[in-house]
Amino acid sequence: MRRFTSVFLSFLLFVVLLPHVSSRPAAVPARRSIVGETCNQIARGDPNMDFTFCSQSLRSAAGSDGADLRGLAIISLKLAVANATYAETRAKALLKGDGLSRYYKSCLDACRDVYADAVSDLRDAAGMIRSGRLVDAKVHISAAVDAPVVCEDGFQDGGLASPLTEEDGDLMQLAVIALAIAVRLG
């Protein structure tokens, strides 16, 4: 009887378990990406936020996938600072153009000024996040979120097409990403 039991168990193992055993190693679950998770949460919470823009922007920065949420906040602020700095430089260059109306120049001046303020606010916010002053950081980031709106409104109020629409859209998205991350920090 023992021999029968032993043969039966061997047969059972061979017939039942062998088809489920693979020669390939078991798949190791992929480490969840903080960038993907964070951008997914932000995009679900804000219908105007583009998940692809968020994830591509954050992943473009070195160290983003290995960062914790605080590090990701700092990275997002650096990206927003770079964008606001570029927008300010572009507004200055556009001001050098010939044949601009007084109103058009005033719009560009206003954009340049709000971009400069946004750069300052975003840099200050990064320092505040590093030091744990999250409420203050969120106030400064919120001010930067308004910069592209102020710029676009000036042109729109005068019935003019803004030459900075792309920069304003990117700055808006980057500042909203930074703000959403800061909110998640506490």
Q: How far apart are CA 11 and CA 46, in angstroms?
A: 58
> In this structure, what DSSP letter does residue 25 have?
P
- pLDDT tens, position by position, 108-130: 999 999 999 999 999 999 999 99
Mean pLDDT value of segment 146-168: 97
Q: How confident is the model at residue 9 (pLDDT cuts 50, 70, 90)?
A: very low
The pLDDT assigned to 32 comes to 60
Residue 61 φ/ψ, nearest 5 degrees: -95, 130
Contact 112, 94 (CB under 8 A): no
Nearest to 176 by CA among 35, 46, 41, 83: 46
- pLDDT tens, position by position, 35-92: 999 999 999 988 888 999 999 999 999 988 889 999 999 999 999 999 999 999 999 9
